[in-house]
Amino acid sequence: MKVIFLDNDGVICLANNWGSRANKRKKDKISLVMNDPDVEVKYRFDYFDKKAIKVLNQVLEETGAEIVVSSDWRLYANLEELGEYYLSEGILKKPIGVTKRYFNCDNPDEYEWNRNTKYEQQRCLEVKQYLTDHPEITHWVCIDDLTLGLESNGLEQKWGLTNFVRTPRMNEGIKESGIKEKLLEYLK
């Protein structure tokens, strides 16, 4: 099985999309308490970038990979809701899973936690736990705007991911030149 661990913000939901959920709610006169699970999921999330979705769909078609949501969005909707939202935004397939929250993961002893990289370390731990729990995965890649690789600014990150592609430009995400090719390298 091939899997893409997918972050949303900064990857397929780009800076120009941020805040669109508020516009949707205003237009449709929807009152929302922050991330209210009783409100339709379309009002809880921002739009995805159409060109970013086109690139993601190309990768999905070329590799047959499945999607596992590693984005914090998994905290504000269940898997079925995320799947319906992905389809409504034009993604070809629903995600097959989400990563666990870091406090539900095995606690590694091989590195110290650092408050400066806490979120990056947590995301890496969540992806590694999913891989441990799903040995049927043969090829995988994690795409995120956080720095989750084995190296950052020339410094080794023992907790980092080997199969990682970063999207450093919040206005481009997965559309950035060369990103698609890097994803394909890990999934073929």
User: In the chain, what are the domain boundaries?
Assistant: 2-14+47-187
- 66-99 residue pLDDT tens: 999 999 999 999 999 999 999 999 999 999 999 9
Region label for 154, one of left (φ > 0), alpha (ψ between -120 and 50) or beta (otherwise): left
- Cut 0.85: pTM above it: yes
Question: Which pLDDT value is given to residue 35?
Answer: 66
Is the CATH code 3.40.50 the one for domain 2-14+47-187?
Answer: yes
- For residue 111, what pLDDT band results from cuts at 50, 70 and 90? low
- 133-187 residue pLDDT tens: 999 999 999 999 999 988 876 777 788 899 999 999 999 999 999 999 999 999 9
* DSSP per-residue letters across 126-171: HHHHHHHH-TT--EEEEEESS--BSEETTEE-TT-BSSEEE---TT
Query: Hey, what are 147's tokens?
Result: 């720095």
Q: CA 165 to CA 148: how far, in whole Å?
A: 8
